[in-house]
Amino acid sequence: MFRRFERLRSLRYWTVVAVAVLAMMFSTAPAYSHDPAGVTLKYDLKKQTLTVTVAHAPCDAGHFVKEIEIGKNGRSVGKYLYTQQTGESITYTYPIAAQPGDVLEAKATCSQYGSKTGRIVIREPT
């Protein structure tokens, strides 16, 4: 009887250790690879340009915003590929024809993990 109790206690101990190790492994993965923190859009109606700013801090040379896809009114109008990122945020300007009422979106995709989308509705100048 006593041996059976010791065996169960030992099994519980190793189960708890295994679960703790797995939890630590999976909880630290996002610290190394993460999706962009935010995507901010600004549109200049006069110049017909969309400025996209992506907040994304790279951890190493292989971790960067690899793609920005621009959408207008639910349709893709451009896909732009990148191979590096030098700062904690990047800003790009794209020539996009739009008029008041149009909805523009920009989806920024990380080279290692996830994506984030920003959205703006074009308004009449005030």
126 in a structural domain: no
Q: Which domain holds residue 93?
A: 38-121
pLDDT score, position 65: 86
Q: Is the pLDDT of residue 7 over 60?
A: no
Q: Are residues 56 and 99 in the same domain?
A: yes
> Does residue 118 or residue 2 have the better pLDDT?
118
Q: Is the pLDDT of residue 1 over 60?
A: no
Q: To the nearest whole percent, how much of the chain has pLDDT over 70?
A: 70
> Domains in the chain: how many in total?
2
Q: Are residues 42 and 75 in the same domain?
A: yes
Q: Are residues 69 and 110 in the same domain?
A: yes
**Bridge-partner residues for 108, per DSSP?**
68, 116
59 in a structural domain: yes
Query: For 59-99, what is each residue's pLDDT tens digit?
Result: 667 787 889 999 999 999 999 998 887 777 889 999 999 99
Amino acid (one-letter) located at 72: K
> Does residue 22 or residue 13 have the better pLDDT?
13
Residues 6+ away with beta carbon under 8 Å from 126? none
